[in-house]
Structure 1
Amino acid sequence: MPKSWTDDAPTPVVLQDHAHLKDSFFYTLKRRLLGNPLNRHSLGHQRLKKRFALGILSSDCISSSAYGSEQILIALLPAFGLAAFAILMPMTAVILVILTIITLSYRNVINVYTKTGGAYIVSRDNFGPVVAQIAAVALMLDYIVTVAIQSAAGVAAIISTFPSLLSWKIPMILLVIVILTYGNLRGVKEAGKAFAMPTYFFIGCMLIVFGMGLYRQFNGTLEVLATNNPGAIPLGEGHGLLTFAAIFILLRAFANGGSSLTGLEAISDGVALFQQPEHVNARRTLITMSVLLGTLVLGVSWFAHKIHAMPYELGTPTVISQIAKTIVGDGVFGQTMFIMVQLATMLILFAGANTTYSAFPLLCNFVATDGYLPRQLTKRGHRLAFSNGILLLSGGGIFLVLFTAGSVEHLVAFYALGVFTGFTLAGFGMVRHALRHKEGQWKAKVFINGVSGSISFAVVIIFAVVKFTEGAWLVLVTAPILVLTFLRLRRQYDREQEALVVKGHQERATSIARHDVTVLVDSVDIATVGAIRYARSLKPRNLAAVHFVIDDRHAEEIQMAWAKSDALDDVTLELIDCPDRRIANSVVDYAIRLTEKDDIELTLLLPRRSYSRFLGRLLHDQTAEQIAAPISQLPRVVATIVPFDVDRITSGAKLEVHHPHETVRVAKSVQPAPKNIAPVDIEPISHYAEDVTKIGEIQWRKRAKVHGRVTSIKTAPRGSAPSLQVEIWDETGGVSLQFLGRREIAGLEVGSQMRAEGMVGEEEGAMVILNPSYELLV
């Protein structure tokens, strides 16, 4: 075969795609629903700017202001009557102090963990993996509850505006979760952009309402609402604050108000989502979020205190809707503004639910990477989102909605316990980090984080006690079970990894002196012939075929067909009796007999005919898999399944293959020179080309400067001469770059952009550039 231009070889061509599998029905459906798959190298473009990050990561925290004050009043009013409105403001002040302390603590977390932080990472690095799983379980449960409660609260805002929709409450909540799931499966960036606007819309509407409310308060026109309306929570009679019952109720109200602080950890969990520098942008977004949250919580509590906004037993109208309606009035502007406020409230609550679709999958990714959750949660999906984590989150949220009938009050019982557990571990973890490293103002950091951890721990105890009978018991029972499950998964992964570790005596793979191959035969057909052809390519010492007889007539037919086949005339067929019809056992016995000597290795080839998925399973057994499983446990025996696609033949489908001469524009070439005479138009060697040439247009035996993405890197084995082969591609084709005398290029990795220049040669009919000058592009 001609090898070069001196032998009149055909002109070499650039590398081209040759085969494209037909998309399955489910992949086509996925692409129609979610869009075309995103290239993994565009992951950097999925990072969020600060304005979008505030929308996607802060909405959970900011939206808590829509119901935090209302939950405090729900606990206080039946016990203290109208005095509850006076207690509301001091309790709000306490919550704002806690907000400030926890914000400072998480600011420190982001400063230290500049790429990815949160309670899980802090706990893992400072307390070890067991404590970290407590943080992981607590935060995962909190995120699942967040999806349910935010979606339910958003639907409550709709029903406050349109009371006739009350009977559609549960379907509406489920529809919201499905829409959020769909949006996030399309990609983080798309979901963030969609929910950035509602965050700013809600903040703007509430600031307008607060401004109008302050004006009406100062000119004495702010209305005070009646407290005895039908459906409102009944007022209790005021009594002393120092009795045991009163203290218990105050603590329960404080626990309810603590739900306003959920979502603070989302930014530290999602530092990796920010554009560079990640930690600087995350820290600024955290401060902005906390200031906005404090303003909104203070405003809602103050106006609820002034107008005596009463919570209702059915959850609607909400306190925030009453504040808006009272302040803006009943005029045309007032009605329009009221609808806008309700719309903004609904959207920010849905955006709050959407926040967890970024934080939860990231958290699951960290935990699964450490081996405490299934590895499937580390894989990115069609649109570069962690699709399995998103689906797990939405499934948990739907379960909680159905379990609690979409009641915000009942869902609050599950709320905040998990997130304050995370606050506790993050605070104490940062205390330990400061004490171990003692960098900068470490004493101030110890104080701030210690106070944050202590207060959060106190809130956890309060919440566990006062909310125990309302649903906290379920979290307290479920969390330890999940922690033990996570630890059990890690032990299983460790055992599997230990079994796969290459031991010292296995470092150097040795060749077996005698290698035999046996093909297991069930019928004489094209699949069997293909397996025999593959067996010959293994160049075994002995090649044999074996049929285990469970039907004498069928065995006789196989023997006759074998004798007639010209393709099999050099292979011995052995018939082995299988009286109990347990083929797997007979195969194991056969393999053991053939490998009794230590220098023999046996390969068993099992032709497997692949049929259609449904009818194939119905009409045919899966014998090959049943045989391969026990064989894999024998030393020096390898079971190899040789697949043959019967369904492709019966359906008439063909693999789409492109041949270079059919689909590729042949590269320009120099006019062939007479045989054995060197061409006269070779360019002088230089190290510069003026312009970059498309790879599909480079010329054989000409210098070229090409630019493309690295798709393949092949390094010579350690025992051979050093060399490195790199394939780069652009939209017109690909070319190999060969570097002799080296095994690596610093900074080179699959997916990076590379520019190279050199003389274009050929190898095996494909164009190559030998030892080019190169430049790695960022």
Structure 2
Amino acid sequence: MTIDQIKRLLIGSPLRTRQLTHEKLPKWKALAIFSSDALSSVAYATEEILLVLSIIGISAYVYSIPIAISILVLLLVVTLSYRQIVHTFPSGGGAYVVAREHLNIPSSLMAGAALMIDYVLTVAVSISSGVAALISAFPVLIPWKVELAVFLVLTLMLLNLRGIRESATVFAYPTYLFIFSILVMIGVGGTQIWKEGWHGYEVQAANQIGDIVTWTGALLLLRAFSSGCSALTGVEAISNGVPSFRSPAPRNAAITMMWMSLLLGAMFFGITLLAYAFGIAPKEHETVVSQIAEHVFGRGPLYYLIQVATMLILFLAANTSFTGFPQLTSIIAQDRFLPRNLAMRGDRLVFSNGIVLLSVLSILLIISFNGDTHGLIPLYAVGVFLSFTIAQWGLVKRFLNEKSKRLFRIAVTGLGTVITGLVTLITLVSKFSEGAWMVAFAIPLLVWMFYLIRNHYDEIGKELRVDLHSLPKKVKTKVIIPISGISKVVAQSIAYAKGISDDVVVVTVDFDDEHAAQMREKWEKWNPNVPLIILRSPYRTLISPLLKYIDTLEKEKEEDEFITVLVPQFIVKKWWHALLHNQTALLLKAVLIYRKDVVVSTIPFHLHH
């Protein structure tokens, strides 16, 4: 089986460019593919709040409720702001495009870097959390958590390489299974609370206040709030992927964003409420959602259904990044701040290079952190809220520059800018020592890399720019044909060389005088009209004498003259036949390709046996 056949088996047959319109998504599929990241965050956001509050003590768990409410208010503000971004920038790109159009290039690059880091972290966190949900139900898998996570990333990569529409269909059903199962769990749990009353932590308000009214307590509350803000990661994904929606794309994207926010808010608050009402506390190898499900349903079929659904949604949540990251990098690449090959669609009409790049970076991150979700979370929210802040500030500037100013839109977006800016600072400060410093360092490093790439493309553009009013000059070329003996491939090479130049010379490297004399004699009988240069090699090397000879010719040639090295090469019928022949041609091309005014060309000779 050839490499192309394996590729077709894994990702399917190529799609024509005109089929791109058929790859657009209806709202119900778009909700699954773009919202899985945001919706899946309910599986760990509450747990992250409780983990921080546990440092203060059990009495502090009561603050999980007001923290959750404040996060819901933040979700409302961000949703209203990003709905406007969807309508205002239907071409996608989210914060990067908003900042590019209405702020400045450095701001847009900062937003782009923050989003790229967030997308990589989304894959790592979602997959690691999905594995955590799996091993909560099946502890025997604990030793294999990193291997499982890497396998899931590779599986997701293959699904996305097959195309948007196919992956959306696969992802839709587990997403709706998760939504249904969590809502049922919240409904049944709420009914139990209604009938039986709250049976969680019974604490006195005085104790709670006494534990919190300290600088340390206040900082821990802010840290718990910033940890819970991980529930908002992924909210921006729809604004980045508006072009993937069916027409009218902006309207459909805005409606989908409202669905997502309502579901996210309901599930996040419901889980937080149940966790406090049932007295749930974080455990090392069992998630909070697992404990709530066990409390509500026991370790029966419904419990395992919720665990499997949670694992699947966390697995699929990474798909938001597999949609957003390639789309974003393609836009940045079109602006020449990233390699151009990231801007090209593959034969399945997806940005294949971006998908592969995201997979590699995510796997490296998972391995580096040993698949530990709690170790990755501190890195998570900084980039998200930085991009939120930049996007909303750009939108405020746009609204202020409009002739017909709409005060409500300016007020909502301005409030969102202030709030998300404060959350960015809170997250950075409260989690700096836990790993947020890495993101703070990585964002400017990426921006610096963007400028290096852009400067390279600008310099290349200047050097390659041609004067359209002048015609190219005719140049001369001397053709050198390296050979090892007289054969049909040599005859073919000489015939081709004479077609492009009158100055053709054949060069061979020999190790002893006797063999060199025999070669000279045969050549004089066979083709005396073409000069044969025999280079001696006392140390039995082939490449070095050829390079020295070419160096000599380079010094002697005229200014506008080229040297063409025409390398004969066997093309074998079977791959393993290549192992039976010297690869001198490949090595010679690799060495000469960087020489100025030296053209390296291959003359292929296809073997039939």
Structure 1-normalised TM-score? 0.71
CA distance in 1, matches of 2:213, 2:60: 14
Q: With a CA cutoff of 8 Å and minimum separation of 6, indicate the structure with the bigger relative contact order.
A: 2
Greater Cα offset, 204-213 or 519-528: 519-528
Is 2:22 the partner of 1:49? no
Q: Quick check: 1:518 aligned with 2:493?
A: no
Residue in 2 that maps onto 1:641: 601
Match of 1:245 among 208, 211, 216: 216
Distance 1:288 1:589, change over 3 A: same
Distance apart, 1:309 and its partner CA: 1.8
Q: 1:120 to 1:545 in 2, by over 3 A?
A: same
> Is 2:148 the partner of 1:188?
no
The equivalent of 1:28 in structure 2 is 5
Q: Among 532, 557, 582, which residue is 2:494 paired with?
A: 532
- SS of alignment partner, residue 264 of structure 1: coil
Deviations 1:524-569 (A, max 9, x none): 332332233223434x5x343243766555554444333333xx46
- CA RMSD, Structure 1 to Structure 2 (Å): 2.9
Q: Is the 1:624–1:641 contact (alpha carbons within 8 Å) kept by the matching residues of 2?
A: no
Q: State the distance in 2 between where 1:240 and 1:97 align.
A: 26
Q: Which residue of 2 aligns with 1:445?
A: 409
- Which amino acid counterpart does residue 60 of structure 1 have in structure 2? D
- The worse-fitting range, judged by mean Cα deviation, of 295-304 and 528-537 is 528-537
Please state if 1:561 is matched with 2:522: yes
Distance 2:602 2:179 in 1: 63
Match for 2:163: what amino acid? G
Specify the alignment match of 1:403 in structure 2: 368
Residue aligning to 2:450: 486
CA contact (8 A) 2:523 2:532 kept: no
Structure 1 residue 198, shift from structure 2 partner: 1.6
Cα displacement (A) at 1:619: 5.1
Which amino acid in 2 is paired with 1:287? M
Which position in structure 1 is the counterpart of 2:317?
352
**Shift in alpha-carbon separation, 1:446–1:602, aligned structure 2, 3 A:** same
Change (3 A) 1:495 1:353: same
Distance in 1 between the 2:110 and 2:580 partners? 46
Query: What amino acid does structure 1 have at the position aligned with 2:455?
Result: R
Structure 1: distance between partners of 2:369 and 2:498: 66
Q: What is the aligned partner in structure 2 of residue 472 from structure 1?
A: 436
Question: For the Cα contact (< 8 Å) 2:26–2:246, is it kept in 1?
Answer: yes
The equivalent residue for 1:61 is: 38
**SS of equivalent to 1:508:** coil
1:606 aligned residue: 566
Shift of 1:238: 6.1
State which drifts further: 94-103 or 135-144. Answer: 135-144
- Residues 449 and 106 of structure 1, relative CA distance in 2, 3 Å threshold: same
Residues 227 and 310 of structure 1 are in contact (CA less than 8 Å); yes or no, is this contact kept in structure 2?
Answer: no
Matched with 1:595 is 558
CA displacement, residues 406-463 of structure 1 (integer Å, 9 cap, x when unaligned): 2222221111111111111111111222233x05544433322222222112111111
Letter in 1 for 2:92: T
CA-CA distance at 1:630 after TM superposition: 5.7
Is the counterpart of residue 496 in structure 1 residue 460 in structure 2? yes
In structure 1, distance between residues paired with 2:23 and 2:519:
59
How far off is 1:478 after superposition?
Answer: 2.4
Q: Which structure 2 residues correspond to residues 254-265 of structure 1 after superposition, within 5 A?
A: 254-265=225-236
- Are residues 1:326 and 2:284 paired? no
Shift of 1:368: 2.2
* Superposition pairs of residues 418-457 of structure 1, within 5 angstroms: 418-436=383-401, 438=402, 440-457=404-421
* Counterpart secondary structure, 2:148: helix
1:108-127 to 2 correspondence within 5 Å?
108-127=84-103
| Contact 2:201/2:277 (8 A) holds in 1 | no
Contact between 1:608 and 1:624, CA under 8 Å: does it hold in 2? no
Give the whole-Å Cα distance in 1 for the aligned partners of 2:142 and 2:208: 31
Q: Aligned partners of 1:225, 1:610: CA distance in 2, in Å?
A: 78
Match in the other structure for 2:593: 629
Kept in 2: contact 1:105–1:452 (CA 8 A): yes
Give the Cα separation in 2 of the matches to 1:59 and 1:376.
28
CA distance in 2, matches of 1:544, 1:164: 72
Indicate the residue corresponding to 2:129 in structure 1.
Answer: 153
Deviations 1:661-683 (A, max 9, x none): xxxxxxxxxxxxxxxxxxxxxxx
For residue 547 of structure 1, give the secondary structure of its aligned residue in structure 2. strand
Give 1:643 shift: 1.8
Once the two structures are superposed, residues 50-98 of structure 1 have per-residue CA deviations (whole angstroms, 9 ceiling, x without a partner) of 111100110100111122122111111331423422x122111111111
- Aligned-partner SS, 1:609: strand
Residue segments in structure 1 that go unaligned for 5+ positions in a row? 1-23, 229-235, 653-778
What is the SS of the residue equivalent to 2:212? coil
C-alpha separation between the residues in 2 aligned to 1:159 and 1:133? 39
From 324, 330, 336, the equivalent of 1:365 is 330
Aligned mates of 2:404, 2:130 — CA distance in 1 = 44
Cα distance in structure 2, aligned partners of 1:477 and 1:112? 32
- Shift, 1:196, TM fit: 0.9
The amino acid of 2:470's aligned partner reads R
Aligned residue among 360, 368, 388 for 2:353: 388
For the residue of structure 2 that corresponds to 1:524, the secondary structure is coil
> What is the CA–CA distance in structure 1 between the aligned matches of 2:336 and 2:407, rounded to whole Å?
35
Deviation at 1:103, TM superposition (A): 0.8
- Written as runs of structure 1 = structure 2, the 5 A alignment for 1:265-344 is 265-312=236-283, 314-316=284-286, 318-328=287-297, 330=298, 335-344=300-309
| Partner SS, residue 309 of structure 1 | coil
The one-letter code matched in structure 2 to 1:90 is P
Q: In the superposition, relative to structure 1, how do residues 170 and 237 fare at CA in structure 2: closer, same or farther (>3 Å)?
A: farther
Deviates more, 1:87-96 or 1:525-534: 525-534
Larger radius of gyration: 1
The one-letter amino acid of 1:529's match is A
In 2, distance between residues paired with 1:559 and 1:323? Answer: 89
More off after superposition, 140-149 vs 244-253: 140-149
Between the aligned partners of 2:357 and 2:592, the Cα distance in structure 1 is 33
What residue is the counterpart of 2:50 in the other structure? 73
Contact in 2 for aligned 1:519/1:532 (Cα 8 Å)? no
Residue 214 of structure 1: CA displacement? 3.1
1-structure distance, mates of 2:594, 2:214: 71
1:545 match: 505
Tell me which amino acid in the other structure corresponds to 1:168.
W
Shift of 1:465: 1.0
Classify the secondary structure of the residue corresponding to 1:38. Answer: coil
Structure 2 gaps of 5+ residues are: 539-543
Does residue 575 of structure 1 match 2:533? yes
- Alignment partners' CA distance in 1, 2:69 and 2:357: 37
Secondary structure of 1:263's partner?
coil
Q: Secondary structure at the match of 2:210?
A: coil
- For residues 99 and 456 of structure 1, the distance between their equivalents in structure 2, rounded to whole angstroms, comes to 10
SS at match of 1:604: strand
1:177 and 1:398 in contact (8 A); partners too = yes
Distance 2:514 2:254 in 1: 78
- 1:40 and 1:560 map into 2 onto residues whose CA distance is 59
For 1:195 and 1:134, locate their aligned partners in 2 and report how far apart those are by CA, in whole Å. Answer: 31
What letter matches 1:561 in structure 2?
A: K
Paired position in structure 1 for 2:199: 224
Distance 1:420 1:307, change over 3 A: same
Alpha-carbon distance in 2 for matches of 1:630, 1:207: 63
- Which amino acid in structure 2 is aligned with residue 265 of structure 1? E
TM-score for both structures, normalised by structure 2? 0.89
Quote the Cα distance in structure 1 between the aligned partners of 2:116 and 2:593. 37
Determine the C-alpha separation between the residues in 2 that align with 1:616 and 1:606. 22
Indicate the SS of the match to 1:413: helix
Distance 1:554 1:537 in 2: 31
State the partner residue of 2:81: 105
3-state DSSP of counterpart to 2:593:
helix
Structure with the higher strand share, 1 or 2: 1
